[in-house]
Amino acid sequence: LKDAILNGVGEVNISVFTASSTTILVFLPIIFLKSIIGLVFSEMAKAIVISLFLSLIISLTFVPVLAFLIYKY
């Protein structure tokens, strides 16, 4: 079971990392804009970047551990 979970994480970690990274890199420059667009959209960009980063960390660490604990019994 442990090997299956590790193999599954190994299969999808590049895809999950790439998808999250591209979206983070799209919204990250909006945070540093000083124009009116930056003032309007910087809070939304911060929320998207933070939520995607936390989602990436959780999906690659916490979810496999949780799957192991659930399927162990």
Q: Percentage helix, strand, coil, to 5, in the chain?
A: 90, 0, 10
From the list 25, 72, 31, the residue with the least C-alpha distance to 52 is 25
Examine the pLDDT at 5 and tell me if it is beyond 90.
no
**What pLDDT was estimated at residue 73?**
76
Alpha carbon separation from 24 to 13, 14, 41 (Å, rounded): 16, 15, 14
Residues with Cβ within 8 Å of residue 55, at least 6 apart in sequence: 20
**What pLDDT was estimated at residue 27?**
96
* pLDDT digits 0-9 by tens, 9-59: 999 999 999 999 999 999 999 999 999 989 999 999 999 999 999 999 999
